[in-house]
Amino acid sequence: MRGSRRTFPCLLLLLQQSAWAVLRVSVPLSPIRALPSSDQRLPCNFSDPLKPINLRNLAVVWKRGTEKIAEYLGRFEAMRQGAEMSVERLQVGDASLLLPQLQDSDSGVYTCVVIFTPDKDEGRFELKLEAEPCIALGSTKLQLASQGAVTCTISGFYPGDISVEWLKNGAVIKGPQTSVHQDSQNGLYNASSILELTPDIADANANFSCQVRHRSLEGPLKENFQLQLQALPSLQVFTGVSQNTLEVLECLVSGFYPHDVQVHWLQNGVPQQQVESREPQTLPNGTFRMRSMIRPEEVDPGVSYVCQVQHNAWDKPLEMRAHWQPKDEVEGVSCPTPQHPPSSGTEGTPHSCSPTPVPTSPTSATGTVVWPWIVFTLGSMLFVAGGIMLYMAFKKGKNKSYPDTKRNSHLDPESVQCMTKPENDYIPDYTGTSM
């Protein structure tokens, strides 16, 4: 009985020592991702805290699925071409395997089996040849009511199977439609997808997305954006004239989007401070318009006034020049800039300025009447035409005054010859006329 009591603590100690002596194999968390054509090290480490590593009692086997690809049994042998293991590293518990130039066939579940007599342990993980895609969006600036496009570029993914969709407020509006090509240098794939649309004002606050699905992703990858809609402003310059004196200049900026706009007046290139500008107003189509006025302090014909508009739909300031001249010297309102000006707005007066040259009308841009010149010209033409008609009538009457001998046989030959006196006129020959 006493002997049994003495042996029980010893057995408990031996069991504890046996538990501490269990071989432990550690591998990385699954999965391991690698790129095609790359060299990949498959980590596998083992340890036994109570026994030093003796290679004579050590065996290591690497498997992919059920297929053996490498082993160490006193010496290293590789079934997968190019696989390597360091025997020196085995002595410190490192049984990692190096696989060069990875191919699609290298994908799979790997098992590292370590036998350290009399213990055995193993670790398992998955190797995936894949690369997660990256998304980049092109410009989202589009013109209202004009066809445009937004490009979604997907780069650096592997393998090449990918799905791209376009969403508007969470609903699919296009896709999947992609153009995929493989990079010849690194073996990765790139793709692009284009969303074509003609936006209206309702698209200004819509939420768009380029959504990508790929097997390297746990869920869809999205790039959200909103359209930066723009509408080019159109300009009109109006002149207010009283008694041949320029009193006010007004600049109407219309049809622009968004509403942020700056209007300046320049006098011979110098910005003016006394400018009256109203807040932008919303037009029925969702765009905006704005009026700006200036009362010129100098009305000398040589003074040039310019309406200058700055808007983010235009890279450079948009300008229209109003060069006023009185009466007969009127040149009207000229519009030398921009190089590609937008079309004029729909509303206007005889004093409006169009961005393109227009023929001179009966009323000039300043309101000066030029009808007297037209009346004078028409009168001159009528006078000349009347003179020509009188001359023709005179000639015709003169020819009719020469008698026809068949109708006036009572005249004598002498009186007939008297009618032939004008040498330079054509007179009918009455020689031999019967009396």
Residue 131 has a pLDDT of 95
Q: Report whether 232 contacts 255 (CB < 8 A).
A: yes
Domain boundaries, the chain: 22-129, 134-229, 234-329
Residue 179 CB-half CA count within 13 A: 7
Q: What is the DSSP string of 394-435?
A: HHHHHHHTSPPTTT-TTS-HHHHHHTT--TTS-----TT---
Tell me: domain 22-129, CATH 3.40.50.300, correct?
no
| Torsional sign, CA 20, 22, 26, 29 | negative
Whether the link from the prior residue into 372 is cis, omega within 30° of 0, is no
- Strands 58-64 and 108-116 turn out to be antiparallel
Tell me: domain 234-329, CATH 3.40.50.620, correct?
no
pLDDT tens for the 435 residues of the chain, in order:
444 444 444 444 434 444 455 899 999 999 999 999 999 999 999 998 878 888 999 999 999 999 999 999 999 999 999 999 999 999 999 999 999 999 999 999 999 999 998 899 999 999 999 999 999 999 999 999 999 999 999 999 999 999 999 999 999 997 667 899 998 888 999 999 999 999 999 999 999 999 999 999 999 999 999 999 999 999 999 988 887 788 899 999 999 999 999 999 999 899 998 899 999 999 999 999 999 999 987 777 778 899 999 998 888 999 999 867 775 544 444 343 333 333 333 333 333 333 333 333 333 333 333 444 455 666 667 776 777 777 676 665 544 443 443 333 333 333 223 232 333 333 333 333 333
Residue 376 has a pLDDT of 61
Fold of 134-229: Immunoglobulin-like (2.60.40)
Digit-coded pLDDT (tens) for 44-81: 999 988 788 889 999 999 999 999 999 999 999 999 99
The residue among 384, 371, 375, 425 whose CA lies nearest residue 401 is: 425
The residue among 191, 203, 194 whose CA lies nearest residue 149 is: 194
Q: Which residue has the tokens 């036998």?
A: 115
Digit-coded pLDDT (tens) for 121-179: 999 999 999 999 999 999 999 999 999 999 999 999 999 999 999 999 999 997 667 89
Domains 22-129 and 234-329 share a fold: yes
Residue 328 has a pLDDT of 54
Encoded tokens for 289: 């318009």
Residue 264 has a pLDDT of 94
The β-bridge partners of 78 are 70
Residue 302 has a pLDDT of 76
Residue 143 has a pLDDT of 95
